[in-house]
A and B are shown apart, each in its own frame.
Chain A
Amino acid sequence: MKRHRGDPSRAADAGFLRAERRARLRLALLVWIVPYAALFAARYGLGYAKLGQPLSWLPVLLGLQLFATIGMVRDLRHARALVGLAALLYLAYFSGLVPGFAAVSSVLPQLCIVALMAIALWLPFSSGQLSLAQAGFMALGAYASAWLTTGSQWPFLPALLAGAFGTALVGFVVSYPALRLRGVYLAVATLGLGEVIRIFFVNFEPTGGAFGMSGIPRYTQTWHLVLTLAVVCAVLFALMRGRIGRAAWAVRHDEIAAAALGVETTRIRILTFTLGAFIAGLAGGLQAHYVRFIAPENYGLAALIDWLVIVMMGGYETFVGPLAATVVLGTLPELMRFLSDWRLLLNGAILVAFLVLRPNGIIGRELLGWRFSPMRVARDGAAPVAQPRAAVEADASKVLLAVEGVGKRFGGLLALTGVCFEVERGQIHGLIGPNGAGKTTLFNAITGLYAIDAGSIVFDGRPIHDLRPQELLRRGIARTFQNIRLFGHLSVLENVMLGGHARMKSGPLRCALGLDRREERAAAQRALQLLGLLDLEQVAGDAAETLSYGDQRRLEIARVLASDPALLLLDEPAAGMNAAEAAELGRLLRRICGELGKTILLIEHDMELVMSLCERVTVLDHGQLVTSDVPAEVQRHPAVIAAYLGSADTQTCTPGAGRHDVRVAACEGVP
Chain B
Amino acid sequence: MSDIEFFLQQLGNGVILGSAYALIAIGLTLVFGVLGVINLAQGELFMVGAFAGLVCLEQGFGLTAALLAGAAVAGGVGLLIERIALRPLPAGIDPHIPMVSTIGAAVVIQQVTTKIFSTRQHPYPTPAVLAGSVTLGPFQLDYVNLFIIGLAIVLMVGLTLLVQRTRLGIAIRAVAENPRTAGLMGMNRGFVVPFVFGVSSALAGLAGVLVGIYFNNIGPFVGIPIGLKVLAAVIFGGLGSIRGAVCASLVIGVAEVMTVAYVASSWRDAVAFGVIIVVLLLRPVGLFGSPVAQKV
Contact = CB atoms under 8 A, between A and B. Distances in A.
B84 A356 contact: yes
Interface stretch (B2-10, B248-256, B261-269): B261-269
Contacts of A184: 38, 95-96, 99
A352 B104 contact: yes
A312 interface: yes
B85 A356 contact: yes
B104 A359 contact: no
Interface in A344-362: 344-345, 347-352, 355-356, 359-360
Nearest to A347: B107
A191 interface: yes
B108 A348 contact: yes
B104 A351 contact: yes
Instruction: Output the residue of A177, A188, A345, A440 with the most chain B CB within 10 A.
Output: A188
Interface stretch (A195-203, A276-284, A597-605): A195-203
B108 A192 contact: no
A352 B101 contact: yes
A256 B228 contact: no
Contacts of A189: 276-277, 280-281
B224 interface: yes
Contacts of A349: 104, 108
B93 A256 contact: no
B115 interface: yes
A180 interface: yes
B100 interface: yes
Instruction: Output the residue of A348, A359, A481 with the most chain B CB within 10 A.
Output: A348
Contact of B111 (A180, A183, A185, A348): A348
Contact of A192 (B89, B104, B277): B277
Contact of A308 (B93, B100, B235, B269): B100
Report, as a range, how many residues of chain B touch the other chain: 35 or more
B55 interface: no
Instruction: Output the residue of B97, B100, B115 with the most chain A CB within 10 A.
Output: B100
Given A188-B231, A352-B84, A444-B296, A195 B273 contact: yes
B294 interface: yes
Contact of B296 (A202, A256, A348, A360): A256
A196 B270 contact: yes
Contacts of A192: 228, 232, 272-274, 276-277
Instruction: Output the residue of A189, A192, A312, A342 with the most chain B CB within 10 A.
Output: A192
Given A184-B96, A189-B277, A199-B267, A355 B104 contact: yes
B105 interface: yes
A544 interface: no
A453 to B, nearest CB: 16
A187 B235 contact: no
B104 A309 contact: yes
B108 A345 contact: yes
Is chain A's interface secondary structure helix, strand, loop, or mixed overall?
Answer: helix
Contact of B228 (A193, A195, A345, A444): A195
B276 to A, nearest CB: 4
Contacts of A350: 104
A671 B180 CA distance: 12
Given A189-B276, A309-B104, A301 B96 contact: no
A351 B41 CA distance: 14
B112 interface: yes
A449 interface: yes
A32 to B, nearest CB: 20
A181 interface: yes
A305 interface: yes
Contacts of B104: 309, 347-352, 355
B280 A185 contact: yes
A351 B295 CA distance: 34
A359 B89 contact: yes
A203 B270 CA distance: 11
A344 B105 CA distance: 11
B277 A180 contact: no
A203 B277 contact: no
A202 B266 contact: yes
A60 interface: no
Interface string B35-47: 0001000000000
Interface in A166-181: 177, 180-181
A130 interface: yes
Contacts of A188: 38, 231, 235, 276, 280
A180 B88 CA distance: 31
Contact of A183 (B95, B264, B272, B273): B95
B83 to A, nearest CB: 11
A453 B232 CA distance: 37
Interface in B101-153: 101, 103-108, 110-112, 115
Given A196-B274, A301-B224, A359-B97, A348 B107 contact: yes
A189 B270 CA distance: 13
B190 interface: no
A356 B105 contact: no
Instruction: Output the residue of A195, A202, A349, A444 with the most chain B CB within 10 A.
Output: A195
Nearest to B93: A359
Interface in B73-101: 84-85, 88-90, 93-97, 99-101
Contacts of A444: 296
Contacts of A440: 296
B224 A180 contact: no
A130 B296 contact: no
B12 interface: no
A7 to B, nearest CB: 9
A175 to B, nearest CB: 13
Contacts of A348: 103-108, 110-111
A355 B100 CA distance: 9
B89 A344 contact: no
Contacts of B96: 125, 130, 183-184, 187
B189 to A, nearest CB: 19
A291 B103 CA distance: 28
Contact of B107 (A196, A345, A481): A345
Contacts of B112: 345
Contacts of B62: none
Nearest to B89: A359
A352 B105 contact: yes
A199 B269 contact: yes
Given A312-B100, A352-B84, A356-B89, A181 B108 contact: no
B284 interface: yes
Contacts of A193: 273, 277
B272 to A, nearest CB: 8
Given A180-B280, A180-B284, A191-B228, 16 more contacts: A177-B281, A180-B281, A181-B280, A195-B269, A196-B273, A196-B274, A196-B277, A203-B266, A305-B107, A345-B107, A349-B104, A351-B101, A352-B104, A355-B97, A440-B296, A449-B296
4 closest A-B pairs by CB: A348-B107, A351-B104, A192-B273, A345-B111
Interface of B: 38, 84-85, 88-90, 93-97, 99-101, 103-108, 110-112, 115, 224, 228, 231-232, 235, 264, 266-267, 269-270, 272-274, 276-277, 280-281, 284, 294-296
26 contacts: A181-B284, A183-B96, A184-B95, A185-B284, A188-B235, A189-B280, A189-B281, A192-B228, A192-B232, A192-B273, A195-B269, A199-B267, A202-B266, A203-B266, A256-B296, A308-B103, A309-B104, A344-B111, A348-B106, A349-B104, A351-B100, A352-B84, A352-B85, A359-B89, A444-B296, A481-B296
